[in-house]
Every structure is written in C-alpha cells, then in structure tokens.
Chains A and B, each alone.
Chain A
Amino acid sequence: MAILDPYSDRSRAVLAWVVIFAAIVGFVVAGAFLSDPAANAPDPVKYDDTVELGLSTETDSLMSDSGRIPRVQVFYSQLQYVIGYNGVESFVDRLDDGYTERRFGYPLVAYVETFDGTEPGTTEAGLFTAAESRPSSWTSAEEAVYVIDSEARTPAGETVIPFSSRDAATAFTGSHGGEIVDWAELRTRSFDVDSGAVARAMAPERWKVADRRITAAERTADRPVSVTVGEDAETISAAVDAAPPNTTVVVPSGSYEERINVTKPITIAGADAHVSGGGNGSVITVRAPNVTITGLTIDDTGNRTRDPEAAQRRAKEAAQGNETESWDTNIQLGYGYGDAGIRGLGSPGLFIDDVTIDTSASGVLLRDGSDSVLRDIEVNGTAEWDDGFMGITGMESRVTVTNGTFTNGRDGIYLHRADGSIVRNSTFRENRYGVHLMYTGDALIADNSFRDEIFAGITVMTRPARNAIVGNDVRGSAAGIQSSGTLTYIGYNTLAHNDLGFSTSSRGSLYEHNVVVENEEGARATTVVPASRVVANDFVENDRHAGAGAGPLRVWADGDRGNYWEGANAGLHEPGERAYRPTSPIDAALHREPAVVALRESPVNELLERLRGTVAGARSGSIIDPAPAPEPYAPDRVAAAADPNGTAVHADWRAQIDDRSHAARQLDDQPMTVAGQNATQPNWGTEPNERAAVQEASL
C-alpha cells in the first residue's frame, strides 16, 4: 500500500488534505440539513408544456365564442411533470380529494392565470372572456384574489376568476357581480367537478334515449302508401318524384338498377327489393328531413371513398392565409364526400331499417346534421379494408345504431363530431376499427360484439368528454378498447384473446368491471400523468396482465378496493392482503410459474417491496394494486371469455349501474345531471402525439 503510507512525511500532507476534505464534507452535510428542499419554488412554465387535467381549453363553444377558462399550473412535490388544470375549481376540487396527494405529493407551488388589465368580461352566451395577455400573467395561487359566484361561466358551469390585485377584482365584480375571496377562503369552497362517474351514471339513461329515438323514428316512418313501384311508377326514382310528402313508396320484391334522389320527407318501404347503383356514385341520396328507408338490399356503389382534392384545397387555402378552420378540415371535407349505399346530406330524422348494403366505399354516409336512426342494418365492405371505406360514415351527425352488422370495412362505424351518438347491440367483424370516434363526446357504445378487428375494436381519438363504452365484447383483435379523451366511462366490457385488452388513454376516467382474459397484454397505462381510476377489473390468463408507459407509478385501486389479478394471491398470505405489481417481473410471473412464489418471499424482494408505495409520483413506469381482490368480480364472464370463438357476453350493467348510481346519489347527495344529449358540450382538443396518431389513422 504505497499510495498512502501513514509513516511517511508525504502521508502527513495527505492527512492534512483529509482533514480539509473532512471539514468540507462537514460543511456540506450541515448545509444539507439546514437547507429546505421545498424552498426553491420553480417558476411558471409555458402552459402548453404542462400535462393537462380537467376540462380542455379547446371546447367547441369556447372556440366559437372566444370564451376562456382560467388556468392553473401546479408543481407537486413528488411529480416531475407540471400539471395544468383548466378551471381553478378543478384544482381546488383535487386539493381535498385525498387521492391526488397520495399520488403526486403536496403542491409545492401553484400559479393561477390572472386577468388584471385584460378587459375580462363575458360573451353573449355568458362565457368568461378576456384579452390575451402577453406574456400570460401567472400569479402564485396564495397571493391571488378570486371572484366567485359572478355571472361568468365556462362550458362546465360556474367558474372562479383570479386576479393579482384586489382593485382589478373589485372592478370585475362591479360589472359582473360576485364575491371576492382569498386563497384560504377559496380552498374551503366545494365545486361540482365531473368525473368518469358522471358518464357511468348517464349510460343507462342514454340507452333509454336510444329507445326513444327508435320509437320516434318508427312513428315517423308509419305513413300511408301513395305510390307502388311497378304499378304506379316505372322506377323507384319516378315513384319517389310522384309521391307526395309524408307518404310511403312501396318497392315490391325484385331487382332495380338506378340511383335515387330523395328530396322530401317520405318512407321508401322495400319488401326484399334489391337496388344496384351501377358501380358509380351513391345509390340513394337523401336531401330532406324525416326520410325512412326500409327493406332494401343495396349494392354496386361507386368506389370513391372520399374527396381526394380536399387536402390540396386546404393546403391552397392555408397558403393564402385563410386557414381559419381547425386542422381536421381536410377530414371533414374529404370523408364526407365519397360514395355510399345511402347518403344523407342535411337529412335529420333519417331512419334506415332492415337494410343490407354491399359497398365498395361507405355503406351509409351522413353529413351536415343528418341525425339518423339505423336499425337492423348490415354493411359488407371490400375484402381488403383499405380498398373500401366505412360501414357508416357520420360527419357532424348524431347517429343511433342498433342491431347492426358491419363486416370488412375500413371502420365499421366512423363518427366525426357526432356528439350524443349511440351504437348498441351490433356486431363487427374484420374491420380496421370496429367503432372509431373522432371529436365525438357524450356517446354510448354498448353491448356490441367485435371479432378479429385489424387495429382495434373500439377506438376514440382526439379529446372528447363523457363517452361511455359499456358491455362490449371484443375478441381476436389487435386491441380491445383504446379510448383517449376525458371523463370517459369504460365498464363491463369483455376483452379476450386480443394483443392488447385496453389502454388507459382517457384521462380523469373510470375503468371498472372489465373482464380481461387471455390477451398478450391485458391493460396498458398510457397517459403520462395518472388521473383515472382503474378498479374492479378481472385480469386472467394474460401473457402480461398490465404494462406501463412513461410516467410515474400508477396506483390501480379505489381505496381498499382493487382489481382481480390471477396469481396475485399465490403464496402463503391471505388473498387480497398483499399488494400486487403487474409490472414487476416477479409478480407478473406469479400466474404462470408457481416457483416464483418462493422468490417473491425472498428477503430482498420483501425489503424492496415494502416501501414501494411511498413517493408514488417520483417512481416511473410501473403499476401497483395495493389491494388485489381475492376473487374475480365477474367469474361467469371470465369463464365465457375463455373461448376465442365463443358467443359474446354482455353484463347486466344497466341494472347494476342504476343501483349504484342511486346509492351514490344518496351517499354524497351529489346531483348527477342526466342532461339532454346535446345540452352538455363535449371537449375537443388534441395533443401533439395524438395529432400524429390521428393523422396516421386518417391516411
């Protein structure tokens, strides 16, 4: 050991250095204990760089009406990402939910957007508005003052307007009413903030809404016969022209080759009639309200799937600086302008009943407010999905589908800005996507069956709110349910034999009572910041029960109620007593390899596992269920899902949700508004990564 010889003189010099070093170390250690790590509050960041929770700023009504939502950005002690809240009330609501703090830590600092000197006011519709302040003005939440109970609203309801000076707040209350409070007072207030539970509570009601729409359509369809094809007129077109409004044109059994234009409210009642379009354009085009088409088989449509020039036109407009419309304009312009078996163009009240369509493009194409009911409809597409188009293309039209069958389409049903649409009791086979929603909120996708879909059974893109995806059965597909958006309810679905069961891409949402069996990956945590509840799902026989993408530790449970994970209860402990981590290599193997049980009991695993739930926000890429369920929640559906080709199973979710909604209402006395389908505005918006996905998907 010649490097340090304690007896040499050189060594004395080294010792002197050691003493100096020790002094420095002592100084650093003293500093480490004296400093306060929470003292250095970070400065506000660009709001676009935060991870957004709560409402979206890009709701339709806000965009069209120049409304604003006061924003908040919060730095949590354990979370590396900055959280953005739309609406001060959504932040205040989360402060006391006892849920956010366990996951993210406490707020180190919060900044609110203040509106001093930005001419704050209200729009004609009563929405809060203000001039853009540049740079936008962020004030520490504790220093700001707040106007509550003023006349200003956001699409979600009453809103809190922050100001940095009391004078500005007073000026605002002078013209718009309300009361000025400080942060301490504001914290004590409670606000009604939506969650995925709202969409759950609304789901059974939406089912009844569909019943009512169908009944209304049946009533409208029941019209006196005026013209019979073959007797009173040579062709269907001639018959339609001859028929007075609000009467029925009867199409007897037989084959017809023609293209039909309907421009008045009539019923076309086929009796096993077969209409061919001659392979060019759309077969039936409806340009009038309250038209009914029943009992037809339609084929030989044109094969133009969309307007190929839409994208170029948009590019030209953009070059001329006329780009005022949103970025999805080319989809709207393109998708709404292809060929179809039946086209509804501005045709509200269209009722299509007992119709079969073989198409080379779309089966039914609806645009411009063609709110429609489709019952017992069958659409067969092309052998290769990218040759044809959608079973139903619905653009800005509220669509109600029941008992449909959709095969070999690009998408079985594609809905774009079609709020309040309902798709139920339908069967989808071998489409690219079974049901594909864009910018479509407040929808109900229920009790459908999906088999062998190439990309996914159900996909929701962009950021709509309050969709309910309930009671569906997806098997043999690349993915079961991939829904982005906010406040979504995904419950009682059966997802089996897929590559991926479901992803948790929708935020502030509720994923419960899904049965996830024999998928390669049961569920995937995708949102960077966890803000959803995943509870009471059954995970059985998946290669991997669950995986996690970028982001902190996800806690999948609601209090002491967790999910059922096959294998979680292996070993010597009481079922449900021990936390389960589907992303840990040991826990993930429990249901495949009994020997892992012993490894799980090893001291080192115990030592590492013991404190893992602490500082959840600061951990990455993993999932923990602190209270796995001892038994499956839905053993019948688990058993039924074992067969990849088995018949679809649908839980009796309407009864169960009704029961629980009543119970919940009695418990916390929170009004769960079952508003009219279009009364609540959905939220649009895109994130950069979502936008790329959307563009890819819409190619």
Chain B
Amino acid sequence: MTGDLGVTDAFAGAGTVFRRELATVLRTPGYGVLGVGLLAVLWLLVAVGGGGATGFVPAVVDLLLPAELLVPLLAVVLGYRALLADAVSGEFAVIRTYPVGVAGYVVGVLLARLVALVAVIGLPFAVIGGYVWLTAAPDTGIFATHAGVDSPLLYVRFLALITLFGTVFLALSMWVSAAATSRRGAAALAVLAFLVGTLGGDLALIQSLMVGADPSAVAGRAALTPNGAFRGLVFETVIGVSFAQEGNVVDVGRAVGSLAGWTLFGSLASVGTLAFRERLSTVIERSRFRFAE
C-alpha cells in the first residue's frame, strides 16, 4: 500500500481511504433514495412556489429558505457516522496498522463524502435548474420579451453556494462522528449540530441585538455563522443582482472565508479528536497492561 497522493506521511493513504469510502457510499442505497426524495421535495417546492415558471432568480427565491434547512439536514445525515463506523467496528485500528495517517484518513473520508454530497444534494438542485431552464417562459408571446438579469449563471452561483454550504455541515458532522462513541450518541450529537448550526447562529445574533449590540455590526457578524454567510451570499450574488444595489447585505469576502473556515475547522477538529482518542486508548491500553502486570 503506497500513498497515492505521494505527499507527506500525514496524508499518506488518503487516496486509498477515499476509494474505500466511496465504495461504502456506493453500497448504501439509502443515499440514492435520499437524493431522489430531495429531488421530489424540491420539485414540489418549485411547483407550489411558482417562481420556477418564469426564471432562475424567482426559483432561487422559492428555494432559498427551504435550502437553508434541507442542505444542512442532508449533509449531517451523510456525515454523522462517517468516522464513527470504522471506530466502533475496530476497522480504524486495523487501518492504522497500515501506513495511513489520521489526517490522511479524515481527508479521504471527507472527500468521498463530499462526492456523495454533490450527488445527493447538488445533483437534485442541478436537475431542478435544468427543469427551470427548459420550462421557464413568459406567459404570453404577444409582446417582445427578454431575460432581464435572469441567467443560468445565477443558478450556477446558487449551486456553488449550496455545495459550499453543504460542505460546511458535512465537515462539522464529521467532527460529531469523530467525537461520538456510539450510534445513538452520534445521532443525538448530529441533531444537536443541525439545530445549533441552522438556528443557533442567528439566534445568538438576534440576542446580541436585543441586548443592545450595534446593528451596523450585523453585516460582519451574520457572515460568521454558516447559515448567515450562505443566506447573505445568495442575497448578494444571486437575488440581489436584479435590484439596484444599496449597500451590501453581507461582507462577501468574510462570508466566503467563514464558510471555508468552518469547513477547515470541522476537518481539523475531526483529525484532532481522532488522534486524541487514539492516544487516549493507547494510554488506557498501556495502563491496563501495566495494571495487569
């Protein structure tokens, strides 16, 4: 077994782990069902909302708030047992007997789960975009029409933001899976992560306003939470283009940085937690060995 990526020891074996994890994902038919289910829900939302009948921007308006809940939910479902399963079954310990670093292991799993995320979440959203592209049309052809600022590129921006947003929750739920010690514990922690992630940030922000924080700080602070950053970016780069802009909804650089930062944080925390638990179990084993001696 050689490190496919040929980088430092820490990432040794990431490629192999990636392929192994991808196989795991592919052998989980539930994820396929999840993607199809999401597609159905999105299609209903677009049909009931009606925005998709005329263009991409109104379709995004209809999908934005549901996406804020659905994307984290599905990302958490994809991630909350990713690292736990191997740990519980003891496979992780076996893997560690090969030249595979903890970081390489986490990166491999994360990348494979990211592929799953793109397939399970990104693909249904993309299909909806294609559907809007094919069906959106003016109500009547009597008069000359034009697209306004509406464009498929705006929907591509939305897809990219959806994926980035999902990645954040995937990385955070990986951390949950690293920290949990049982399936039940992982499920409970995952629900907690979902609730804190989707509601907590905005709640904290509103609370800070209640106790007298300066509203001018909202643009910066909203960008700090994943949901605030995502919503702000969609307003700023997708929906907002059809308005004459007056000031920014969110600080774009800070929002993108925040999403990337949360992803990095989740990944590093997963690596750290796994490494710590490995060390811990080594210590325990060692002391048990001494005790037995």
Contact = CB atoms under 8 A, between A and B. Distances in A.
Interface string B190-215: 00000000000000000000000000
A622 interface: yes
Interface in A24-53: 28-29, 31-33, 35, 37-38, 42, 45-46, 49-51
Interface residues of B, number: 48
Contacts of B293: none
Contact of A688 (B138, B142, B243): B142
Nearest to A6: B19
Chain A contact surface mostly: loop
B157 interface: yes
Nearest to B23: A6
Contacts of A622: 50
Contacts of B138: 80-81, 550, 620
Interface string A482-520: 000000000000000000000000000000000000000
Contacts of B241: 37-38, 77
Nearest to B59: A618
A82 B26 contact: no
A50 B159 CA distance: 34
A37 B143 contact: no
B160 interface: yes
Chain B contact surface mostly: helix
Nearest to A29: B160
Interface string A3-38: 011110001000000100000000011011101011
Interface string B237-278: 101011110000000000000000000000000000000000
A550 B48 contact: no
Given A29-B156, A38-B241, A689 B58 contact: no
Given A49-B144, A78-B242, A614-B239, A4 B26 contact: yes
Contact of B23 (A7, A49, A612): A7
Interface in B136-194: 138-140, 142-151, 153-154, 156-157, 159-160
Nearest to A83: B143
Contacts of A1: 23, 26-27
Contacts of B45: 604, 608
A46 B144 CA distance: 8
Interface stretch (A100-108, A196-204, A336-344, A640-648): A100-108
Given A6-B19, A32-B156, A615 B239 contact: yes
Contact of B149 (A38, A45, A51): A38
Interface in A537-588: 549-552
Nearest to A101: B244
Nearest to A105: B242
B242 A618 contact: yes
Contacts of B54: 80, 552, 618-620
Contacts of A7: 19, 23
Contacts, number: 149
B55 interface: yes
Contacts of B142: 528, 688-689
A50 B143 contact: yes
Nearest to B28: A1
A608 B153 contact: no
Nearest to B163: A29
Nearest to A102: B243
A319 interface: no
A18 B20 CA distance: 16
A610 interface: yes
Contacts of A552: 54
A611 B149 contact: no
B1 interface: no
From A37, A608, A612, name the one whose CB has the most chain B CB atoms within 10 angstroms.
Answer: A37
Nearest to A611: B61
Nearest to A49: B144
From B23, B53, B146, B160, name the one whose CB has the most chain A CB atoms within 10 angstroms.
Answer: B146
24 contacts: A1-B26, A6-B26, A18-B115, A31-B153, A32-B154, A35-B153, A50-B143, A75-B146, A78-B148, A79-B148, A81-B143, A82-B145, A101-B244, A106-B243, A106-B244, A549-B139, A604-B45, A608-B65, A611-B65, A615-B239, A618-B51, A619-B54, A620-B54, A689-B142
Q: Which 4 A-B pairs have the closest CB atoms?
A: A550-B139, A49-B144, A6-B19, A106-B244
Given A6-B26, A621-B139, A622-B50, 10 more contacts: A1-B26, A32-B157, A33-B157, A37-B154, A77-B244, A79-B148, A608-B45, A608-B66, A612-B49, A618-B55
